[in-house]
Amino acid sequence: MNFGDILDKWEKQRPSAGSSSDGEIQAKDTEERDEQTGAQEKRRRLRNKKPDAELDIHGQTRDEAWLALEMFFNHAREKELEKVLVIHGKGNHSLDEPVLKRVVMDFIERCPFAGESGRGKASAGGEGATWVLLKELKEQKPPNPSLCSSLSW
């Protein structure tokens, strides 16, 4: 038996393509695929988008930087911004690893509405800057809109 025969036999055993359940499944699959494609296109657009706001934390201590990040991200969420840029510097004056870059990465990991992030373009600070895509607000706002303020360094 060749593959064509196997395929013919399998198709004969399947419910007809015109049945409502098969059509519903195909429609649902198509909708999910469209949603995934739309989400991928949106992420691609946001990655290439110029940031809506910037925060420069050069020269700040860890604690000062953390507080500035809390205020900045809470403000960005209130304004429903999509993408922000944090300029932390390259850490040239740090003895070990760049201190402020580590603070920014820790903050992003803990902040519930900070999404995907990446290194800034060379024209926007390169290794010394990090862009962040903010997650969309859901229909119901949380009781405490300052979720990042509950985070601690």
pTM for this structure? 0.65
Both 56 and 116 in a single domain?
yes
Quote the domain boundaries for residue 75: 50-150
User: Among all chains, which residue has been given the structure tokens 């303020």?
Assistant: 149
Q: What is the pLDDT along the chain (153 residues), one digit of tens a residue?
A: 677 777 777 777 766 544 555 555 555 566 666 566 777 887 888 888 899 999 999 889 999 999 999 999 999 999 999 999 999 987 666 667 778 999 999 999 999 999 898 886 666 667 789 999 998 877 545 545 455 655 554
What is the number of domains present in the chain?
2
Q: What is the CATH number of the domain that holds 56?
A: 3.30.1370.110
Both 24 and 63 in a single domain?
no
The DSSP secondary structure of 22-76, one letter per residue, reads HHHHHHHHHHHHHHHHHHHHHHHHHHHSPPSEEEE-TT--HHHHHHHHHHHHHHH
Contact 117, 132 (CB under 8 A): yes
Contact 90, 98 (CB under 8 A): yes
Pairwise CA distance, residues 118 & 127, whole Å: 10
Residue 20 CA, chain-centre distance (Å), reads 37
For 65, the token pair is 């930087």
Both 71 and 142 in a single domain?
yes
Both 59 and 38 in a single domain?
no
Question: Looking at the DSSP assignment, which residues form a beta bridge with residue 87?
Answer: 56, 129
